[in-house]
Structure 1
């Protein structure tokens, strides 16, 4: 009996609302509210990308554990050699009771279904058992000397040397799955847990994040003293970081990406151009009036006023109307991505039309005022 492969998460193109942060982190959204855009926002605007990297690494650790257990379960379903059935009977029963685990995403505990929570709890309980049982089962099924060596090696808690891991702190915008492409050994799970601890949680770590002391202390004790590496070790920290990002960062991300299409450097550039253009427009307009130029000459103040009003309105709305109507959004300075999220595209189009209407009205008022006012040569 073959195990059904878990489907990769895909974007929900029929969503008629703004996405939630969990949908963004789960890669279920499209630009400009996708995970890559959120990563850029956390890096450039919030200056707190370490929290997002911690979340992604913990999610990757969960996927690594699930991949490891699925491999063991698949091997059990194929069949265990006759001589090893007695030794692996208990572990085989646990693995078969876990089910298919067709939920590859590692979300916050409050969003998990009862079935997912039960399966994750059983998986963590299985991983907490004596590593030698899992290693014996793994090596008996694979028949690989390399797997036997990596599965039976005991990792001591006092080893602080950084381990090589498949995880990366960078987000691949083209990736829709957290599952590794290679066979997972028990040592990979241990190395993954230690990498998270030594990178983000220990005092003075390379990318230390601020968490309540009780949470970091519990994680440190579990990994270094108790030798644990199951996903439940990071549950409290994962939920804390998720709630912090959802409360402090995500609303600003939606305001910037779902209601605007400019980044702060572009807004500052438009403000500078707008102020310069409005000063030039007033200077030219008053000069033409006081030199008593005819109206058909003064009509040319339309150009600097249009540039000035357009740039100032774009800064005020954090939105370039023409760019939005063309279907583009800026994710870094002068780098653009096509808007693919349908609901966000509709919002931006409506706001773009409102902004253009404001530009036309203000521009028309300024032109009428300075063109039809009587001239007087000084």
Structure 2
């Protein structure tokens, strides 16, 4: 509860644009939240498989944390004090679990993200424990649901992914067996990494071969197996996709199809405005009639500026952003709303001045009768 309150307070007082890791960690609000980033990667970047890989690896880490926390509880409950001295296996396991220390609920950031060294160290100890435990043991705090849980939590058919919940050690939905972790690691391997797999992502060949060997030959399923690939995918998204996402969602509030439609309508409106303007001038109409040409010019200017800056000023003032065509959602990130309001104010002024300048030109130009 305290962590949730701290995250909310951070969102309220963040006077900057978020980082990619903050978005992936669900520490941001619409329209720069994980759901919006997923939609952007799917519809505009056309590389949602990279984001799905990141989410599945993060889910795998959550699965491992959940398993170890439940295992620690089960060992403490199932091994009475008087029996610990007689049970070398239980004593050794309990000692290893105690050496893990506190298992962080939050995810450690990639190696390039500063300030997450403590979490990465804890995750390293978690992976070391899973490796030492080995594939021969099949501990479960209770009867597990089996490997089906790993497949259910990472099914590629359930999209968009970010709306799904993650494992939470404070209120687990079900227990996790060692086989679940193995099934989760294999699912990631068969879905994203094997050549010709269903949703293969492009990684360096040496990196892919190493991960395949670690899982298939060495029998590893700890989270550190995927760390190099996870760092690589993070850097690729940060370099190639995230700047465009911020440009589209933090500095604008329209999707590409809406932007294109506005350009078409703006050109039609400009055509109609110029036709009407030349008509009233060449027919020598009085100025009170010529004033009506401001309407098509105003519509055209508004839409062309909206196209140019990728923002609908009216919707920005109302506090809405378009995440898919004609689907609007409230802007909840405070700093983004401030940015969009400022840009909306500037674009409205530009549109009004453009329409006024064109209208004045044709209102006061001397008329002639043809």
Q: TM-score over 0.5 for the alignment?
A: yes
1:10, 1:134 → 2: CA distance?
38
Match for residue 53 of structure 1?
52
Q: Given that residues 302 and 367 in structure 1 are in contact (C-alpha distance below 8 angstroms), is that contact kept between their aligned partners in structure 2?
A: yes
The answer to whether structure 1 residue 103 and structure 2 residue 114 are counterparts is no
1:106 Cα deviation from its structure 2 partner: 4.4
The one of 258, 273, 295 aligned to 2:265: 273
Match for residue 344 of structure 2?
352
Match for residue 313 of structure 1?
305
Match for residue 155 of structure 1?
none
Cα distance change, pair 222–132 in 1 and its aligned pair in 2 (3 A): closer
1:143-172 deviations in Å (ceiling 9; x for gaps): x5x45x969xxxxxxxxxxx8342244345
Give the secondary-structure state (helix, strand or coil) at the position aligned to 1:260: coil
1:343-369 deviations in Å (ceiling 9; x for gaps): 000000000000011011111101100
Match for residue 127 of structure 2?
124
Match for residue 233 of structure 2?
241
Give the secondary-structure state (helix, strand or coil) at the position aligned to 1:110: coil
Consecutive unaligned residues of structure 1, counting only runs of 5 or more, are: 152-162
Match for residue 249 of structure 2?
257
2:180, 2:51 → 1: CA distance?
22
1:199-254 deviations in Å (ceiling 9; x for gaps): 01111011111000011000000111111100000000000000010011000000
2:2, 2:62 → 1: CA distance?
11
If the length of structure 1 is used for normalisation, what is the TM-score?
0.89
Give the secondary-structure state (helix, strand or coil) at the position aligned to 1:164: helix
1:187, 1:216 → 2: CA distance?
23
2:167, 2:242 → 1: CA distance?
22
1:164, 1:343 → 2: CA distance?
38
1:53, 1:305 → 2: CA distance?
46
Matched length: 357
How is 1:183-194 mapped onto 2 (pairs within 5 angstroms)? 183-194=175-186
1:84-136 deviations in Å (ceiling 9; x for gaps): 7322222211111112213332431333633322221111111112446743x
How is 1:209-248 mapped onto 2 (pairs within 5 angstroms)? 209-248=201-240
1:362, 1:150 → 2: CA distance?
66
The answer to whether structure 1 residue 198 and structure 2 residue 190 are counterparts is yes
Cα distance change, pair 326–6 in 1 and its aligned pair in 2 (3 A): closer
2:160, 2:174 → 1: CA distance?
19
1:78, 1:377 → 2: CA distance?
100
The answer to whether structure 1 residue 166 and structure 2 residue 160 are counterparts is no
Q: Given that residues 199 and 208 in structure 1 are in contact (C-alpha distance below 8 angstroms), is that contact kept between their aligned partners in structure 2?
A: yes
If the length of structure 2 is used for normalisation, what is the TM-score?
0.90
Deviation larger for 102-111 or 224-233: 102-111
1:178, 1:321 → 2: CA distance?
40
Q: Given that residues 75 and 90 in structure 2 are in contact (C-alpha distance below 8 angstroms), is that contact kept between their aligned partners in structure 1?
A: no
1:175 Cα deviation from its structure 2 partner: 5.1
1:245, 1:201 → 2: CA distance?
17
1:220, 1:174 → 2: CA distance?
30
Aligned CA-pair RMSD: 2.3
